[in-house]
Amino acid sequence: MSLRSTSTLRISREIRRALVWVVLCLGVTLVPRTGFGRIYIDINAPSVQKLKVAIPDFIDLSQDPTQPELKAALPGVISSDLDFSGYFEPMDKKAFLDTNNPSLTADGIRFRDWSVIGADLLVKGAYNCIGQSVEVEVRLFDVFRGQQILGKRILGRVNEHRNLMHRIGNDIIYLLTGQKGMFLSKIAFVGSGTGYKEIYVSDYDGYNVQQITYDKSINLFPRWSPQGDKLFYNSFKEGEGPMLYMRDMATGKVTRVSGRKGLNMGAAFPPDGRHVGLTLTLGDDIDIYTIDFNGNIIKRLTNQWGINVSPTFSPDGSRIAYVSNRSGSPQIYVLDIQTGRDERITFEGNYNTSPSWSSLNRIAYSGMDEGRYKIFTINPDGSGLRKLNEGQGNNEDPCWYGNGRYLTFSSNRDGAYHIYIMMANGANQKRVTLLKGEQTSPSWSP
């Protein structure tokens, strides 16, 4: 990606067109001068008041307008991204007063027209289509100060316009929160739309769904590697119990990692991603081990009576949270890998499963409460228990996004199970998959 200053905005139309073909597949971001306004979102505050953002249709600057639908589609992606983040409230276009102003600069915008309808932020944009490529310029303004606080120009293919706008959304999130945006991330999940349980991958918002396996079997528990370059999952396709497979996401090559008799269930990674934690059946014991990518056992982590499953590593890799039924019902335990010290941390409810440990040191899990499964979060020492769902069907399989600010999970609140995302405090719960059948067991890429 190439970054350029304000002066680059004055280059000739001919040079810009030439650049399109040079960077057609990669995209280029050009950064004009930006100012620092009064607006900043404190994401660590107990409660965050959403900023109202106005995003009018973009201006088509194409000499031969062949993609008029992009006028609404481009700002629509940004609007959806900001809405999903939970920090913004995109405004209804029907409220806009200044709808026909083509200006993208602060001196040509009537900020009073945006202030009077309550907008905190204004996103203005224009695009120019050249063949199958599109050049988009987006500017973000602080309405109160009448000041531009972000400007971007980006190039890419028309059919990848959602990706281009996700980049812009990420830039806005980073500017106003200091945190990495999630809009280019992927979610892997199990889908049953074909009549079998296959593995699928989509954009974080459910778009661009791709079926990854075609085994016509039962595939379960997809899990991303910390670098996002590999996807692990279990499959019964060889008919001898659940074996662990690894798919290289760049090449599509699939390798069987563990095919021992009995369980080879689940896959969890420490932060360095150098080995895998999973449950194996060796003899009469069902315990958690670490193995290398060739399936060789490195270390036995649990050595307890009962069934021990679903490991998830702490942010520093020194501990795991996991599920054991040694107390008579499934509960969450935390194990120190070096010392072997093992402590139960869940005592509310008699069925607690599927732990996921965040980078911010919170453990999410699914627990039975009042006859339904709900998502809870808890500190590793068992304190700070918080329930995130209430009266919304069954909610299971929580998995954190990398920055620890969002969770994905499966829920049957609309009848069948589908994939949802929400903020770490349970706010802004939104469904992201609209496929037939059911979608379960989501895993969020880094």
Instruction: List, as one string, the DSSP characters of 374-400.
Output: EEEEE-TTS---EE--SSSS-EEEEEE
**How large a percentage of the chain has pLDDT more than 70?**
90
Q: Measured between alpha carbons, how far is 413 from 47 in angstroms, rounded to an integer?
A: 26
pLDDT-derived band at 41, boundaries 50, 70, 90: confident
Unique residue bearing structure tokens 């304000």: 6
pLDDT of amino acid 6: 35
Residue 26 clears pLDDT 70, i.e. is over it: no
Could you give the CA distance from residue 135 to residue 62 in angstroms, rounded to a whole number?
10
| pLDDT confidence band for 17 (50 / 70 / 90) | very low
Q: Tokens 């959304």, residue?
A: 169
Rounded (to 5) percent helix, strand, coil in the chain? 15, 40, 45
CATH number belonging to domain 186-444: 2.120.10.30
Domain residue limits, the chain: 6-177, 186-444
Position with higher pLDDT, 66 vs 80: 80
Of 181, 35, 31, 39, nearest to 121 by C-alpha is 39
Question: What does the radius of gyration of the chain's CA atoms come to, in whole angstroms?
Answer: 24
A 10 A CB-CB count for 304 gives: 17
pLDDT in tens, 167-211: 999 999 999 999 999 999 999 999 999 999 999 999 999 999 999
pLDDT at 4: 36
Segment 276-315, tens digit of pLDDT: 999 999 988 899 999 999 999 999 999 988 999 999 999 9
Q: Do 154 and 162 form a contact (C-beta atoms < 8 A)?
A: no
Across residues 20-32, what is the average pLDDT?
36
Q: Which residues contact 360 (CB under 8 A, 6 or more apart)?
A: 315, 403, 404, 405, 424
How many other C-beta atoms lie within 10 A of the C-beta of residue 9?
Answer: 15
Q: Which residue has the tokens 């063949």?
A: 131
Q: Which amino acid is at 336?
A: D
pLDDT beyond 80 at 11: no
Is it the case that residue 27 has pLDDT exceeding 60? no
Q: pLDDT confidence of 145, banded at 50, 70, 90?
A: very high
> What is the C-alpha to C-alpha distance for residues 315 and 327, in angstroms, rounded to an integer?
27
Annotate 270-282 with three-state secondary structure.
CCCCCCEEEEEEE
pLDDT(15) > 50: no
Which of 3.40.50.10070, 2.40.50.840, 3.30.1330.10, 3.40.190.10 is the CATH number of 6-177?
3.40.50.10070
Burial class (CB in 10 A: 0-12, 13-18, 19+), 262: middle
- What is the pLDDT averaged over residues 355-371? 97
More confident residue, 215 or 46: 215
Q: Which tens digits make up the pLDDT trace of 79-126?
A: 999 999 999 999 999 999 988 889 999 999 999 999 999 999 999 999
User: Does 13 score more than 60 pLDDT?
Assistant: no
Q: What is the pTM of this model?
A: 0.89
